[in-house]
Amino acid sequence: MSERSVLGDGTRVVRAGLPPAVPGQPFLPGPVFAAPYHLDPATGPVPGRDGYGRTDNPTWRALESAIGDLEGGECVVFSSGMAAITAVLLTVLRPGDTVVLPADGYYRTRALAAQTLAGLGVTVREVPTAGRYPPFDGVALVLLETPANPGLDVCDIAALASVAHGAGALVAVDSTTATPLGQQPLALGADLVVASGTKALTGHSDLVLGYVAGPALDPIRNWRNGTGAVPGPFETWLAHRSLSTLDLRLARQSATAAAVADLLATRPEVGSVRWPGRPADPAYPVASRQMRRIPGIVTFTLPDAAHVARFLGATRLVGAATSFGGPHTTADRRAQWGDPVPDGLVRLSCGLEDTADVVADLTAALDTAAGSG
């Protein structure tokens, strides 16, 4: 039987970053816990050989090889998504530079820019993900986030990368909500991908991690070593172990999100349902061209915070929690964290439960919250 030349997503995530098969060895070697490693007493540290735990770790390299395969570039893993974003912003930007950030993206990125970049003499310009984008003349870095968290607007990575490159700007894409199975920013022309591995990528709500992917990451690797924003070997290993189920998890989460978005669209008390996979969604045309699958996140608004509290109090299957992409369906009222969105805006993360159970539970909880249950 001839092997298919292009392996499917399920096959790729199961095999990503695994060492060659050796009888008596595990499929995925366990985490390596080391601060110093033995040195050659005569030659001392040798490039390419593990020497110290802030610089070198084989468990990192295995996960980096896995994510790098999926993103189509090199990968450097970090202790969190914010550590990875910080690495990109501060290795690229210099005083006097201008950076373009999403006005509706992850709120901590804007806070970091306001607190740190502005103080370093970097001009920060915020643009909504859906546009319109101003000309990029004089811009050093354009950081896109698509689909944007929490509002789920989508931008055209290839078109924006082409305009930005014409103006001499670098383009980085925060691809956290999509994961590398959802879209391939590097193939679409982005220079760098940055993401949180805390969310759907690893998907078990049990670790915090981030990564940068791109073609030549020595400055990013040096930044990690210099600032010490290193992930723990155990988290790194857990992330690699969890990657093998990414295809299956996204399939269930996305199918449930489709059903939930359809349900929410029928509810009179629910406003602005956003899920880029719904043909009625404003992001649908770009998302359906650019994305290979749509995340299991649905964002919508209820009339106010009290209505959200009644809804959360009434559900049996939806946990009140932030983050997304885990096995349990969760809902987060984003304004409670200081995200500048309407008080009743809810970001719902669809888990791995049976779709019909989630839809039935949401229906009952919405009825109760509206006073009709």
CB 150, CB 176: distance < 8 Å: no
Determine, following the binding rule CB under 6 A, whether residue 295 of this chain makes contact with ligand PLP.
no
Considering beta carbons, is residue 50 or 214 the nearer one to ligand PLP? 214
**Cα(84)–Cα(100) distance, rounded to whole angstroms?**
17
Considering beta carbons, is residue 92 or 369 the nearer one to ligand PLP? 92
Determine, following the binding rule CB under 6 A, whether residue 82 of this chain makes contact with ligand PLP.
yes
86-94, 96-104, 194-202, 296-304 -> range binding ligand PLP (CB under 6 A) = 194-202
Please list the residues that pair with 195 across neighbouring strands.
211
Give, in order, the Cα–Cα distances in Å from 345 to each of 111, 167, 308, 333: 20, 36, 8, 6
Determine, following the binding rule CB under 6 A, whether residue 296 of this chain makes contact with ligand PLP.
no
Determine, following the binding rule CB under 6 A, whether residue 106 of this chain makes contact with ligand PLP.
yes
Interface residue with ligand PLP, options 81, 151, 185, 233 (CB under 6 A): 81
Report the nearest approach of ligand PLP to the CB of residue 298 (Å): 15
Strands (E), the chain: 74-78, 98-102, 123-127, 141-145, 170-174, 192-196, 210-214, 271-274, 297-301, 319-320, 330-333, 345-349
Determine, following the binding rule CB under 6 A, whether residue 205 of this chain makes contact with ligand PLP.
no
Residue whose Cβ sits closest to ligand PLP = 81
* Unique residue bearing structure tokens 């924006």: 160
Determine, following the binding rule CB under 6 A, whether residue 235 of this chain makes contact with ligand PLP.
no
CB 315, CB 279: distance < 8 Å: no
Determine, following the binding rule CB under 6 A, whether residue 174 of this chain makes contact with ligand PLP.
yes
Determine whether 174 is an active site residue.
yes
CB atoms within 10 A of CB 238: 19
Considering beta carbons, is residue 195 or 263 the nearer one to ligand PLP? 195
Tokens of 111: 């806070």
**Cα(52)–Cα(45) distance, rounded to whole angstroms?**
9
Which one of 9, 37, 52, 54 is the catalytic residue? 54
Determine, following the binding rule CB under 6 A, whether residue 242 of this chain makes contact with ligand PLP.
no
Catalytic site positions? 54, 106, 174, 199
Binding site for ligand PLP (CB under 6 A): 80-82, 106, 145, 149, 174, 176-177, 196, 198-199, 208, 210
